[in-house]
Amino acid sequence: MTASFLHVTPITPRPSGNGLAMRTAMFAEALSSIGRTEILVLGDEPPVDCSNEGLQIRHWDTRGRHDTRLQLINAIGDPQARADALRALGRPFASRAVSLPIATEFAQLTQQYPWSGILFSRAHLLPLLDFLDHAPCPVIVDLDDDDGELARQRARLARRNGEDAHGLWLETEADMLDAMVKRAAATVRLFTVASANVAETLNDRLSLSSIKTIANGIEIPSIDQIRRSASDKLLFVGNLSYPPNADGLTWFIQNVWPRVLAVRPATSLMAAGSNPSKAVTDLFPAPQATLVRDPADLAPLYAAAAAGIVPLRTGSGSRIKILEAAAHNVPVVSTVVGADGLALDPNQALFATPTDPEAFSNACLACLSNPVEAAARAARLRAYVELMHERSGIVSEIAATLSAVLRP
């Protein structure tokens, strides 16, 4: 009998664009190579046409269907009472898309077929496990990142900025994320993550016994296909509604960008990505800075860039934006946090810097002022990405891993 798999994801798998969409696309392709695969997109995005990808997709739009209890808790005015209510419920606010109606429909779906296995992409969908049959098929969860640690990093930033109420909420969220993952460990056959650093910290903190690193992968164009023009343009690429990206770009424009312009006034900045929040949109027009929404093709943007910037102050895992820049032979200036998860010396292959405005601006200026050294570091970074993050090799690795766990 042909194996049948269900892949539950918060975003439509796509081979380019959003980093999470690219990662889920690799898992979807790997699953499809070993059996019939249905993809359930359960999230707040509108339906996306995937006819070109040949995927069998169900889309459940959760907009307006969020968990009522979590919405009511989020509306509590007193910060301590709000945090206490979240702890009493025992679920993170990030799981709000998993309402009772959604979970009930999911339970009905899982009973329609004798599924050979179920794959969940991202931790916030884990409450759905409570609605599986008592003797479920094997379950794999791609955590991708360490959401609990990410929430704690954001909490520290909030506290540092005097936003104690928000810091308390994020600290509580982090604890609830950790508790949710730890509870799920009794049911989940295997967790996967994007970097060895994430695997190590999760295992140390939560004692997950079964966790495997599956690196992010990207399509790497032939070096002969790459056309680059001389410029003084810095490029930021990322999902602009994702809090670490929005925070990093805001920090760069407000604290770093004026320092760069003071030394090299001809430099320009382009930020490209999807779903910019109002806070991000309000940053523009910054001096000599352009916002590009939902670019159809990133290749021309990389071709026109002198360097890619990754000014992240929070995060873990491996940054697809770094891998993409490397694939297009573009030098990268990154914070140490942004470069976390890459298995190489960042000072040899990137312009890596502490999360400090002066240090980051100096790194940008060093990259722009030394094209020979910038090209050498870009070449080293591209060679590393070719060896460790080429997409087809990663998909084959995922297929072998999933096949060993999920085959009936």
| Model pLDDT for residues 280-335, shown as the tens digit of each residue | 999 998 889 999 998 888 889 999 999 999 999 987 656 888 999 999 999 999 99
Same domain for 32 and 117? Answer: yes
Pairwise CA distance, residues 103 & 86, whole Å: 19
Considering the chain, what is the average pLDDT of its residues? 91
pLDDT level of residue 277 (50, 70, 90 thresholds): confident
Which residue has better confidence, 161 or 86? 86
pLDDT level of residue 43 (50, 70, 90 thresholds): confident
Q: What pLDDT, on a 0 to 100 scale, did the predictor assign at position 239?
A: 86
Mind listing the pLDDT tens digit for each residue in 224-260?
666 666 679 999 998 888 888 999 999 999 999 999 9
Residue 385 CB-half CA count within 13 A: 33
Same domain for 376 and 395? Answer: no
Q: Which of 35-49, 293-307, 372-386 has the lowest mean pLDDT?
A: 35-49
Same domain for 296 and 360? Answer: yes
Pairwise CA distance, residues 131 & 281, whole Å: 40
Same domain for 185 and 269? Answer: no
Which residue has better confidence, 343 or 265? 265
How many CB atoms neighbour CB 17 within 10 A? 21
Would you say residue 158 has pLDDT above 60? Answer: yes
* CATH number, domain with residue 26: 3.40.50.2000
Angle between helices 357-369 and 371-388 (to 10 degrees): 100
Token pair for 347: 């000072």
Residue 9 CB-half CA count within 13 A: 24
Extract the runs of DSSP E, i.e. beta strands, from 317-380: 332-335, 351-353
Same domain for 183 and 310? Answer: no
Same domain for 261 and 189? Answer: no
Percent of the chain with pLDDT over 70: 94
Shortest CA distance to 147 belongs to which of 319, 9, 25, 317? 317
Same domain for 198 and 279? Answer: no
Mean pLDDT of 160-177: 97
Same domain for 100 and 175? Answer: yes
Same domain for 20 and 135? Answer: yes
- Number of domains the chain contains: 2
Under 8 Å between Cβ of 237 and 308: yes
Pairwise CA distance, residues 132 & 106, whole Å: 8
Same domain for 259 and 170? Answer: no
Token pair for 237: 């690429």
CA distances from 190 to 322, 338, 352 (A): 27, 27, 33
138 contact partners, CB below 8 Å, separation of at least 6: 116, 117, 118, 189, 405, 406
Q: What pLDDT, on a 0 to 100 scale, did the predictor assign at position 258?
A: 96
Q: What pLDDT, on a 0 to 100 scale, did the predictor assign at position 50?
A: 60
How many CB atoms neighbour CB 130 within 10 A? 12
Q: Which of 68-77, 229-238, 365-374 has the lowest mean pLDDT?
A: 229-238
Same domain for 227 and 101? Answer: no
The model carries a pTM of 0.90
Would you say residue 51 has pLDDT above 80? Answer: no
The domain in which residue 268 lies consists of 223-388
Mind listing the pLDDT tens digit for each residue in 346-369?
888 999 999 999 999 999 999 999
Same domain for 283 and 317? Answer: yes
